[in-house]
Amino acid sequence: MDSTSIIYIFAMSFVHLQTHSEFSILRASCRIKELLKSAVEKNQPAVALTDHGNMFGILEFFMQAKDLNKERKKAGLDPIKPLLGCHIYVATPNATRDESTYQRLTLLVENQDGYYNLLKIVSYCYESPEAWAEIPAVPLSFIKLKSKGLIALAGDLMSRFGTDVTSGRDAQAIAYIESLRQIFDSEHLYLTLQDHGLDSEKQLNQFIIKCSEKYNLGLVATNNVHYIKRDGATAHKALRCIALAEKLQDYKENYCPTDKYYFRSSEEMAELFLDHPEAIENTGKIAARCDVTIRTNCGDEYWPKYAFPKEFADADAYLAYLCEKKVSERYDVITDEIRERLDNELKCIKDMHVAGYLLIVWDFINWSRENGIPVGPGRGSAAGSIVTYIIGITDIDPLRFVLLFERFLNPERVSMPDIDTDISDRDRGRVIQYVTEKYGADCVSQIVTYGALKAKAVINDVGRVLGLPIADVRMITKKLPETLGATLTNAWTGKDKKGAPIAPDYNAEEFQALIKSRESFQELWKLALELEDLARQTGVHAAAVVIAPTPMSNLAPLFRAKPEDTPVVMFDKHYAEDIGLLKMDFLGLRNLSIIQDAVALIKQTRGFDLEIGKIPLDDRTTFNLLSKGLTVGVFQFESIGMQEYLKKLQPTRIEDLIAMNALYRPGPIDQIPHFILRKQGEEKVDCYHPDLESILSETYGVIVYQEQVMLLAQKLGGYTLGGADIIRRIMAKKKPEEMAKLEPEFMEKCIACGYDAKMVKKVWAVLLPFCGYAFNKSHAAAYAYLAYQTAYLKANYGPEFMAASMTSEISKTDNIVTLVQECAKMNVKVRTPDINTSLGIFSANKEGEIIYGLAGIRNVGLAVIEDVVTERNLHGPYKTLFDLCKRILDYQTTLSEKRPPLNRKALECLVMAGALDCFPGSRPALMASIDKALEVANRYRQDKDAGQVSLFDMGGANEVPMSSPEELEDASEWSYIECLNKEREVLGLYLSGHPLEEYRPELRGFTTCSLADSELAEIQLKSMVFVGGII
């Protein structure tokens, strides 16, 4: 038999056991779909995923293989087996950031025990400081405890083992093999042979073969796969350069140094190891032994159990008790409609086994409210439930706003509920901490997210790697379409994935010509296309938290950026839910903090407690404000476009706001003009049939909500609301094969209910295009209600609301400028900061003025501000610059912890901001006296420590602490313009005046509009405007 035939025979059994995907962040460029596709193309029956030190991609790998196998089964093809594993770092003494100082081990999952043990091992790499040196690693002692069901592959060139062999330290290398033999028997420990064209590998392979013979250990042939095709080597080096912030021409890292680290064919591998066919055969044997399934769609099995009181039989009984106890708090009269709705919902909740879930949500929301933490009125479809409303999860009455429970929980379509919760942004951490303490720190985790090399980012990164001038790279990025999510391919073709233009006025031919104009641009483009959308870094999801009934590492792998950080599940939120983990979204919402702060200020300035949950929903002052478009600071209604629509709409009821919140989005926004014209009586309201008026009259015949689609199907076709929700979902997806079945069925059922076919076709024709972007009314109602609350506060308690809004934006100067300008429109005065009246945050006084917060002044630290305010509250207003310096130093000396001092820079900024205008002397004189004041304060403190007290110190509290050494220095006056410029330097805006104020009449004579006004929205596109300002 010739060598070609031998190669073919052995190649038939080859499987890649060591491959790395893009989830080996910035180390490998293999996309998971491409790995599976390559295995199929090369007729390999299985393929492993063994990323570096993590399992980020394992579930995606498993699920994509599962989907691929469904298609292969339909085609009568054999499935491809996904092998699960990880390339881990083994902790060694004196390890450094140099990875070659660590041992390495590839662990493959043989069975279910092995899968759960691998979760533990990978999680332990990140679990404790003892497991860390410079790289997350795990000691062999822990692997020994969790070795059952795992197959180990050892012999990596880049490990300490490889370094020991190639450096002649055979004894150390043998000791490592011996230590592995203490953990794994010969059926579960293999030694790897690799050949990427390196001389050092030949030396290592000879050593490994000897060890194999000596210890009777099997050999396996592996290729250290880091990219799919051989010509991907350059792109892979570019990826490494992005990781190392190096240029390609300077790249010297000995990491995948040849172009052989690709997904080789079975024949190539068999030819490489012709002398050791057993190393090829063993890969297939190992693959055949590996058999593991990751369970999905687990229902509530992995949900934590809510600890309800012992006197109740189960969670359903306790939930029903809570509803009975609290229903009278929501409704004065319990009507038959309320009772029937409540009973039906409780029955559905019981049948779907989700009472425990609702109680978990209720518990942390109830705790939040009891502890003064603002919680939003609702979010998403949960606001459609009367149960969630009665027990206080939401604050939106579903009967008052015609919201549907079936949009939240559909009894005809088994799916898990999903309640997202808005919490004030500053208190989100407290709520998560409560949940963590209640269910156990090891049972609560956050969820990973990935930052990807998106179009503009990958162009910038590759441009840097190639050493191109920044100006050249910007030539390309500036030409990319601005459309959200546009890819490089979209930029090249000018089309989106549906074939529609990617952006108005975008010229793809012009872009192509730019790329073709230079060789360096073509090189950049080629590499960017190969690297686009690969994972660039990991992060933590801004809202998602998962809770389990058992330590999380029993169910999913965990990681931490640092040992002391909160653990993070390595699966993203979709995959985490797929395996049955309970995901909660805790969203920090700034507007809830604003409302809380505004209510507190109202108490201070006006002397009463405003109950924001009980404000009237028909307040004329509020709707007048909205009708004028004065919505800066109003939740969800701030944009210039929305302001213009509101001025045209002239809203008179909260239902108008709910509809606008739903319509002001891509897709339905085109319906807004019709909605406005119909409200104003300028366009006919068509509800298609008298039976449909109760459904469509609220929105003037315009179909706005998903719930309307459901109600229309119920009314016309006799569908249940559960069935109607299924129809809505099918119509929204617009799958041709499903739509082909649905339309005749819908027509038949409607006609059977006695409706005219022509009218039904008309309704269908309207429903079909709109169903894809009809909005969830429950969510729109909750957010419109929150928007109304902010508008009510602004309309009726403007100074307090605007002060609270400024506090929320205190670190964002541009936003403060916008809010100050809005105050001017409201005739609310914003006073310059004052050391004797300002707090750290913005505040309001009883005269209806806003006092600028000290924290809004640059270079004045929060700790110093806290000390200034505390000392002022203890001993009264500061009288002079010298008094301020002495008292703050004196106060800080009494504190147990060391505080940052009130230094020269902070005092300069306070003077420039006008915060010390209450003191004797001009701003220039105060500025010139800062060093002297600090020196006097230090001397005063020294004298006091030495027991020397001045005459003034022995005086009464009303004595002015001024003596001849405390006289201000002489200084030349600043001009009005100088004062304003210095003010702007430290506040970011002109506050006490404006340099152009005296020229305002002249400017109005020739300018078209103000850049700060919503007048810009009314300017026709590409028309000429005249504006005035300072450059």
Domains identified in the chain, total number: 6
Least confident of 632-636, 681-685, 960-964, 974-978: 960-964
Token pair of 568, please?
């993070």
Rounded Cα distance between 651 and 206, Å, is 83
Query: Across 157-166, 382-391, 894-903, which has the greatest mean pLDDT?
Result: 382-391
Are 24 and 149 within one domain? yes
Q: Is 798 among the domain residues?
A: no
Q: Where are the alpha helices (DSSP H) in 260-335?
A: 266-272, 277-289, 315-330
Are 467 and 409 within one domain? no
Q: What is the pLDDT of residue 3?
A: 53
User: By three-state DSSP, how is residue 545 classified?
Assistant: strand
User: Could you list the residue range(s) of the whole structural domain that residue 325 is in?
Assistant: 315-449+540-590
Least confident of 162-166, 322-326, 789-793: 162-166
881-891 pLDDT per residue, tens: 999 999 999 99
Higher pLDDT, 127 or 345: 345
Q: Is 802 among the domain residues?
A: no
CA distances from 1 to 4, 12, 530 (A): 8, 16, 42
Q: Name the DSSP letter for residue 612.
A: G
Q: What is the DSSP string of 423-487?
A: EETTTHHHHHHHHHHHH-GGGEEEEEEEEE--HHHHHHHHHHHTT--HHHHHHHHTTS--STT--
Q: What is the pLDDT of residue 564?
A: 74
Higher pLDDT, 186 or 728: 186
Higher pLDDT, 662 or 995: 662
Contact 576, 583 (CB under 8 A): yes
Q: What is the pTM of this model?
A: 0.87
Are 857 and 778 within one domain? no
Q: Is 40 among the domain residues?
A: yes
Q: Is residue 966 predicted with pLDDT exceeding 80?
A: no
Q: Is residue 179 predicted with pLDDT exceeding 90?
A: yes
Q: Is 806 among the domain residues?
A: no
For the chain, the average pLDDT equals 91
Confidence grade of residue 504 (pLDDT, cut at 50, 70, 90): confident
Confidence grade of residue 729 (pLDDT, cut at 50, 70, 90): confident
Element containing residue 106 per DSSP (H, E): strand 103-109
Are 770 and 836 within one domain? no
Chosen domain end from 533, 558, 577: 533
506-532 pLDDT per residue, tens: 999 999 999 999 999 999 999 999 999
Are 947 and 957 within one domain? yes
Q: Is 795 among the domain residues?
A: no
Q: What is the pLDDT of residue 774?
A: 83
Q: What is the pLDDT of residue 954?
A: 42
Q: Is residue 9 predicted with pLDDT exceeding 60?
A: no
For the residues 269-288, what does the mean pLDDT come to?
96
Rounded Cα distance between 242 and 537, Å, is 11
Contact 622, 796 (CB under 8 A): yes
Confidence grade of residue 768 (pLDDT, cut at 50, 70, 90): confident
The two beta strands, 189-193 and 218-221, are: parallel
Report the sign of the C-alpha dihedral through residues 869, 875, 876, 882, in that order.
negative
Q: What is the DSSP string of 119-162?
A: HHHHHHTTT-GGGBSSSB-B-HHHHHHT-TTEEEEE--TTSHHH
Are 776 and 637 within one domain? yes
Q: Is 797 among the domain residues?
A: no
Our CA dihedral for 431, 435, 437, 441, rounded to 10 degrees, sits at -120
Burial, 567: exposed, middle or buried (Cβ in 10 Å; 0-12, 13-18, 19+)?
buried
Token pair of 341, please?
């709705």
Confidence grade of residue 134 (pLDDT, cut at 50, 70, 90): low
Are 71 and 164 within one domain? yes
Are 397 and 475 within one domain? no
Q: Is 811 among the domain residues?
A: no
Q: What is the pLDDT of residue 129?
A: 57
Are 232 and 84 within one domain? yes
Are 960 and 1000 within one domain? no
Q: What is the pLDDT of residue 688?
A: 94
Are 188 and 267 within one domain? yes
Task: Give the residue from 522, 498, 493, 523 showing the smallest Cα distance to 508.
Answer: 493
Contact 671, 704 (CB under 8 A): yes
Q: What is the pLDDT of residue 667?
A: 81
Q: Name the DSSP letter for residue 218.
A: E
Rounded Cα distance between 278 and 10, Å, is 8
Are 367 and 428 within one domain? yes
For the residues 386-412, what does the mean pLDDT come to?
95
Q: What is the pLDDT of residue 10?
A: 47
CATH number at residue 16: 3.20.20.140
Q: Is residue 684 predicted with pLDDT exceeding 50?
A: yes
Rounded Cα distance between 28 and 46, Å, is 20
Residue 994 CB contacts under 8 Å (≥ 6 apart), including other chains: 980
Q: Is 361 among the domain residues?
A: yes
Task: Give the residue from 12, 43, 48 showing the smallest Cα distance to 290.
Answer: 48
CA atoms within 13 A on the CB side of 674: 14
Rounded Cα distance between 316 and 309, Å, is 12
CATH number at residue 509: 1.10.10.1600
Least confident of 154-158, 584-588, 740-744, 903-907: 740-744
User: By three-state DSSP, how is residue 100 classified?
Assistant: helix
Beta bridge partners, 964, equal none
Our CA dihedral for 400, 402, 407, 409, rounded to 10 degrees, sits at 50
Angle at 515 between CA 513 and CA 516, to 5 degrees: 65
Residue 230 CB contacts under 8 Å (≥ 6 apart), including other chains: 259, 260, 262
Q: What is the pLDDT of residue 133?
A: 55
Token pair of 603, please?
């108490």
233-250 pLDDT per residue, tens: 999 999 999 999 999 999
